[in-house]
Structure 1
Amino acid sequence: MKVAFIGLGSMGMPMAANLARAGHDLTVWNRSRKTPEGFEGKEPPVAGSIAEAVRDAEAVVTMLANDQAVTEVVHGGLLDNLRQGAVHLSMSTLSVAAARTLAEEHAKKGRDYVAAPVFGRPEMAAAAKLWIVLAGPARGVATIRPLLDALGRGVSEFGEEPWKANLVKLGNNFMLTAMIETLGETFALMRKAGIPPKDFLAAINNLFQSPVYQNYGTMIADGQHEAGFKMSLGLKDVRLALAAADELHVPMPFASVARDNMVEAVATGGADKDWSYLARVVQDRAGLD
């Protein structure tokens, strides 16, 4: 399939490489000029503009940081140059409001907009082991499905309204934030009592048997917070979850607590650290080094 891939960040670059590896005819574009990496010597052409990238594509994949970035790309040449029958596959984590607006704008032009945000960190993207949350019109979904096979290990589908996939992703990220917060609080409690966090982690890993607890627990126990998913992006997603909750009249008090603690983490130098750094805020409050 002829594919335009827009957004070569820490997630987008390995995802684009996997599409090329699967045999898709790829053209890439990034807002800041980047040399494609990880393509095993078969780097795709870099378009000089959004319009050039998407003009001949059967599918356009966007993997960008936030609502503003995606909206600017869509209004900056993507939608006006998306050919009849082509599909915009939006894999970014967006607000419910933005997803609704983008779907409406595409529909007015007679183009399909499919949302497919992903669960997973950059190393999972590189290994094509992402879990994909999918929603969009049936025709568009059928067109882009071969791309998903090259990007992930499975798909959960949520109907034909793209915003629902984004809401599921935001709910997942809130749950991960809550897990990081509770790990940080519990590890602080254990350390104050003289119990090594790694010993406690071994015990809960036997209980939960979850790679998510194991991976994040190890990062927190080791104090290693090299960014896989930046704190600033995690804060953005919790805010978006709260905005959706407000619209749907759902109280989420713990999300408010997590947001405030993430704001503190950003304010104290953690914006570009992994969001597991949230646990460091809790430990600092407890007087731990």
Structure 2
Amino acid sequence: MRIGFLGTGGMGAAIALRLQAAGHDVHAWNRTPAALQPLLAAGVTAAADAAGAAAQPVVFSMLADDAAVDAVLEQGGALAAMPAGAVHVNMATVSVACTQRLAAAHAARGVGYVAAPVFGRPDAAAAGKLHVLAAGAPSAVARVRPLLEAIGQRVWPFGDDPARASAVKLAGNFMLAAAIEAMAEASTLAQAHGVAAADFLGLMSETLFASPAYRGYGALIAARRFEPAGFRLRLGFKDVRLAQAAADAVAVPMPFASVLRENFLDALAHGAGELDWSALSEVSARRAGQRD
């Protein structure tokens, strides 16, 4: 199958390569052409522009945020280039409001729209171990489900409204941010009493909190290993703000999201925006006098 792919950053590149390895003909575009070079060696075709990549029966996109999605789809002509009857699979983490706008715009053009954000870092994407959310018209989801199964270990359907997948993704990322903050504060407390962060977080991640999130992020926090970033801190800040906006729209109080927002701002003010978002843990340690 010919597949268009928009956005080949760390996650996008890994997903596009999985699709190419599964036997599909992937035509990719990225705003920074140099990011395409590793894909070309694997047989991926470079599209001249976003519209060229989007002129396929199925189009995937993995872009950074609402602004990037709007710039590529609307201003870049990608949506206008999608043929009637095509299906667009948007894997970006965007706002619920953006998802609602996109679903309406695609429907007006006779193009299927599937919201399919993922849980997992670039190494999981490369290994085909992502957890893929999927929401959209049943016929559109069914058409692209074999492709989603090629890039993930499980596809999690959330009905026919694409906004549901966006809401689930934002809620999940809020929980991850909250876990990072909990580990940060708890390990800072333990260190203040002479217990190494690695010892404390090793105990917690193997006993009370034996889960991938605590094991993975606990190891990064203990080692202070924030580069290379699997998920940049500035994007984590964006997702917390989007979760707050989604909550505001339906009158759901999220008081801890406000705490996270302020701590993300603290981290950004100290230049951590391009580090892995587990660097949020440095805020607690710095306030406790354990960092300069």
TM-score by length of 2: 0.96
| In structure 2, distance between residues paired with 1:45 and 1:118 | 24
Please state if 1:144 is matched with 2:144: yes
Comparing 114-123 and 143-152, the one that deviates more:
143-152
Q: Could you say what secondary structure the match of 2:36 adopts?
A: coil
TM-superposed deviation, 1:206 = 1.6
CA deviations on 1:91-132 (whole Å, 9 max, x unpaired) are 000000000000001111111110000001111111111001
Map 1:12-161 onto structure 2 (within 5 A).
Answer: 12-39=12-39, 41-55=41-55, 57-75=56-74, 76-161=76-161
Map 1:222-233 onto structure 2 (within 5 A).
Answer: 222-226=223-227, 227-233=229-235
TM-superposed deviation, 1:18 = 0.5
| In structure 1, distance between residues paired with 2:69 and 2:41 | 29
2:195 counterpart residue number: 195
Answer yes or no: is the 8 Å Cα contact 1:21–1:39 preserved in 2: no
2:264 counterpart residue number: 262
| In structure 2, distance between residues paired with 1:81 and 1:216 | 40
Q: Could you say what secondary structure the match of 1:280 adopts?
A: helix
| In structure 1, distance between residues paired with 2:123 and 2:219 | 16
| In structure 1, distance between residues paired with 2:42 and 2:130 | 23
1:211 counterpart residue number: 212
The aligned amino acid for 1:236 is K
TM-superposed deviation, 1:35 = 4.8
The aligned amino acid for 1:133 is L
TM-superposed deviation, 1:72 = 1.4
| In structure 2, distance between residues paired with 1:213 and 1:58 | 40
CA RMSD of aligned residues (A): 1.2
Answer yes or no: is the 8 Å Cα contact 1:219–1:276 preserved in 2: yes
TM-superposed deviation, 1:196 = 1.5
Question: Aligned in 2, Cα 1:144/1:104: closer, same or farther, shift over 3 Å?
Answer: same
1:241 counterpart residue number: 243
CA deviations on 1:220-274 (whole Å, 9 max, x unpaired) are 1111111110010000000000001111101101000000000110010100011
1:283 counterpart residue number: 285
What is the identity percentage for the equivalent residue pairs of Structure 1 and Structure 2? Answer: 47
| In structure 1, distance between residues paired with 2:35 and 2:251 | 45
CA deviations on 1:192-225 (whole Å, 9 max, x unpaired) are 0001222212321222221210110111111111
Structure 1 regions of 5+ residues with no counterpart? none
Answer yes or no: is the 8 Å Cα contact 2:9–2:35 preserved in 1: no
| In structure 1, distance between residues paired with 2:14 and 2:202 | 32
TM-score by length of 1: 0.97
Answer yes or no: is the 8 Å Cα contact 1:37–1:43 preserved in 2: no
Q: Could you say what secondary structure the match of 2:271 adopts?
A: helix
Q: Could you say what secondary structure the match of 2:79 adopts?
A: helix
Alignment size in residue pairs: 288
| In structure 1, distance between residues paired with 2:62 and 2:194 | 44
| In structure 1, distance between residues paired with 2:140 and 2:102 | 14
The aligned amino acid for 2:57 is E
TM-superposed deviation, 1:74 = 1.3
Structure 2 regions of 5+ residues with no counterpart? none
Q: Could you say what secondary structure the match of 2:77 adopts?
A: helix
Q: Could you say what secondary structure the match of 2:125 adopts?
A: helix
TM-superposed deviation, 1:41 = 3.6
Comparing 63-72 and 75-84, the one that deviates more:
75-84
